[in-house]
Amino acid sequence: MGLQVLHIFIYILGFSACLIAVFLSMMTISGTWIVVGVGLLFKLAHVSIEPSWTTLIILVALAGLVEVCEGLAGYFGVVKRGGSKLAGIAASITSFIGGILGTILIPIYIVGSLIGLFVGGFLGAYAVEYSRLKHNNKALNIATGTIVARVFIMVLKVVVTLAMILLLII
């Protein structure tokens, strides 16, 4: 009886964490690592939904892949629109800096970091491309690629997080 109650508690905890992971993914925070943690919890607790070690490795690989994609999103968003590699690198760096500054300057949970992330990446790419091309519209078009890439990453995070949860429970 006591073990069953513990397993029910673990399920409630695990699936609540998975719901939080999906919500965080919608806010550009990677919820994939939370799903990995839930999988590890289920494995170590020996509950009836006990993922194999292979499944856990796949979950870790998917979470890592999402992180790599996120790190490169600003870069590829700029380069795909004809921007320079330097603008892509600047977009990635200034997105990170913008996320931090946005959190400090707009202390509304998630909102400040999202605005900072988008504005920082946009301004970094725009500054490099405007100084290179001396053409406002072209620089704006290229810099918009960072925002498109970030939105794509948000969608990717949600889809991958949901897929990981399905993989965990199947």
Q: What is the mean pLDDT of residues 92-96?
A: 86
Q: Are 168 and 160 in contact (CB under 8 A)?
A: no
Say if residue 17's pLDDT is above 90. yes
Task: Count how many domains the chain has.
Answer: 1
Measured from the Cβ of residue 14, the count of other Cβ atoms closer than 10 Å reads 22
pLDDT digits (tens, 9 = 90+) for 138-153: 999 999 988 888 888 8
Residue 74 confidence (pLDDT): 66
For residue 119, give its domain range. Answer: 2-169
pLDDT digits (tens, 9 = 90+) for 32-85: 999 999 999 999 988 878 899 999 999 999 999 998 888 777 677 777 888 888
Q: Are 116 and 122 in contact (CB under 8 A)?
A: no
* Percent residues over pLDDT 90 in the chain: 45
Q: State in Å, rounded, how far the first CA of the chain is from the last one.
A: 26
Residue 89 confidence (pLDDT): 86
